[in-house]
Structure 1
Amino acid sequence: MNRTASGPGRDRDEEGRARSARPRDGLGRPLPYGAEGVPRQPEGVVRAPAESLREAQRLLDAGMPFHAHEVFEDAWKSGPASERDLWQGLAQLAVGLTHAARGNTAGGARLLRRGADRLAGGPGAPGGMASAAAHGIDAAGLVAWARELAERTSAAGGGRPPVVDAAAEAPRLRLGPS
């Protein structure tokens, strides 16, 4: 990662694209340069669906939903178009949990609902239920979990919203034992 003169303090890769080299915490928030952060997910990793689900579940269980989102993002970018809604919906659930854990309950609830709608085939989304079933994903359970967490976080209201514990709230992605 190069820090170039193309912008004050901007991190750029060899092609000139912006790439932040700042360390990140478990929820993906930038930390000061030199601070110890958590290892970042490599970008553009092509995994089999089962491997994507295992890695994302590991990250969710560790309280790192932002990082799980990156695994789902790789899956939707590298997978078949027919599964795009599934992986995008899962990514939106992970980002929704990330925002809720950061204290952005309104944004978290919005993304949780959007991801649930995408998985269920709700308003404006074709749905990922068929693809989910093919991979043993508990889409119905995830939709229920996301809608319940969205309700709980958006109902918090008044004053500073409570911060959700990302690890304690981590959903189970697959049916049966992990």
Structure 2
Amino acid sequence: MDETRRDRDAEGRARNARPRDGLGRPLPYGTPGVERQPEGVVRTPEETVRDAQRLLDAGMPFHAHEVFEDAWKSGPVAERELWRALAQLAVGLTHAARGNATGGARLLRRGAVALAEFGDARPHGIAVGGLVGWAEELAGRVEAQEGQEAPVEPVDAADEAPRLRPGGGGA
């Protein structure tokens, strides 16, 4: 493939066709990568939670973020902030797993604040309180590395994956 030409989808929109790793980082053309999540998929809330949890458990929070992003863009207006907050948590975990302590902590905290707006509600069985606690605790651990002389140690995305629902996937 000509690497100087922009990748385009069937409709002519710019799309980066480079393969990506499990954390969404672009790899050189021709390198085997992780299959990307299709964009614009309309899922039920149950499917969204199930698919995102599967990706989180596999250590692929960048890809889980894409599932949440689809829900936030296609779902009812009343639920958009829920899905957006969950997408921010997934991107925060992505950055922390890439060794970006500042970006990871910032996005984890931003997602936690937005998710906390749901209070004690459990929309679609999602463990809001548990996820807020998980995000704040992980953000604190990631931030604690910033002032150290040693390089920031990336977190293991699969080991740190939150449980979206108690019992079968809750924080």
Q: Could you state the TM-score of these two structures normalised by the residue count of structure 1?
A: 0.89
Q: Which of these residues, 88, 96, 100, is aligned with residue 92 of structure 1?
A: 88
Q: 1:174 to 1:67 in 2, by over 3 A?
A: same
Aligned to 1:41: 37
Q: Does the aligned pair in 2 maintain the 1:23–1:33 contact within 8 Å?
A: yes
Q: Secondary structure at the match of 1:171?
A: coil
Task: For 2:155, give the aligned amino acid.
Answer: V
Does 2:142 correspond to 1:142?
no
Does 2:39 correspond to 1:50?
no
1:132-162 deviations in Å (ceiling 9; x for gaps): 6130000000000000000000111223100
Task: For 2:12, give the aligned amino acid.
Answer: G
- Per the TM alignment, residue 31 of structure 1 is displaced from its structure 2 partner at its CA by 0.3
Q: Secondary structure at the match of 2:122?
A: helix
**Structure 1: gaps spanning 5 or more residues:** 122-127
Whole-angstrom CA distance in 2 between matches of 1:24 and 1:129: 36
Task: For 2:130, give the aligned amino acid.
Answer: G
Whole-angstrom CA distance in 1 between matches of 2:10 and 2:40: 17
Does 2:168 correspond to 1:172?
no
Aligned to 2:103: 107
Does 2:23 correspond to 1:27?
yes
Cα RMSD over matched residues? Answer: 1.7
Task: For 1:78, give the aligned amino acid.
Answer: S
Q: Secondary structure at the match of 1:135?
A: helix
Q: 1:117 to 1:173 in 2, by over 3 A?
A: same
Q: Which of these residues, 126, 135, 152, is aligned with residue 161 of structure 1?
A: 152
- Per the TM alignment, residue 129 of structure 1 is displaced from its structure 2 partner at its CA by 4.2
**Structure 2: gaps spanning 5 or more residues:** none
Aligned to 2:112: 116
